Amino acid sequence: MQTLLERGCGLDVHQATVVACLLMVRKDGKVQKQMRMFGTTTRELVGLREWLLSEGCTHVAIDDKQFVEMLSISQSLPGLNATNLAILVGEKLGGILGSIAAILGICLPGGVLMYIVGIIYRQHGDHAWITAGLKGVTAAAVGLILSTVVELSKKSLAGRFDFVFMAMTVIAVSRLH
């Protein structure tokens, strides 16, 4: 088999993550595969780009200039960045049908799952074990959010002014919202 590309990457864009699969042909002719998962925040997406460049990746679904342009556009549109970016990438790669496939691929699985859960909840929501399960999920969600806040504050809150600004923000949101 003839090798067409020595290094290339495929991106699988989801609402909260982007999975990158980098394939590289080694000198002995064997293919080495690396997979990494990135978030959809600007910082994480810049990290994805830096990783691909550091690995010498020569081909991706879109180049870095187009990616940055699409990211900028997706951030200026209402809605989730990952959904907007998927639609733009879908349009770039497959036209209007690519955009439709991207929106269906991101929104349909979660929508169908929540529809099914809603039907089950409507029929069985009054059972004690359902109520207990939802309370447990709520507690887990609060714990996950709190752990994220703690991790981000370790990196973001360095000086006194940062804490003062955070406290002013909490007070303003609680009083003015």
- What is the edge-to-edge ordering of all strands in the sheet holding 17-25? 7-13, 17-25, 31-39
Taken in order 92, 96, 101, 104, the sign of the CA dihedral is positive
Q: Please indicate, yes or no, if residue 39 is contained in any of the structural domains.
A: yes
114 within a domain of the structure (yes/no): no
Which one, of 59, 56, 47, 51, lies nearest residue 9 by Cα?
59
Which range has the top average pLDDT, 1-10, 111-120, 142-151, 166-175?
A: 111-120
Which residues, in sequence order, are CB contacts of 126 under 8 Å at separation 6+? none
Q: Say what the pTM is.
A: 0.44
What are the angstrom distances between the C-alpha of 13 and each of 59, 95, 116, 157? Answer: 17, 17, 24, 30
Most trustworthy range by pLDDT among 4-18, 100-114, 138-152:
100-114
Q: What is the pLDDT of residues 158-175, one digit of tens each?
A: 777 878 887 888 888 888
What's the whole-number mean pLDDT along residues 98-113?
91
Residues in the chain: 177
* 1 — pLDDT class (breaks 50, 70, 90): very low
Q: Are residues 16 and 89 in the same domain?
A: yes
- Residue 33: inside a domain: yes
88 and 159 co-located in one domain: no
Q: Does residue 117 fall inside a structural domain?
A: no
Quote the CA–CA distance of 45 and 131 in Å, as a whole number: 38
Q: Which of 51, 65, 54, 56 is nearest to 20 (CA)?
A: 51
Whether residues 78 and 154 share a domain: the answer is no
Residues 129 and 103 in one domain: no
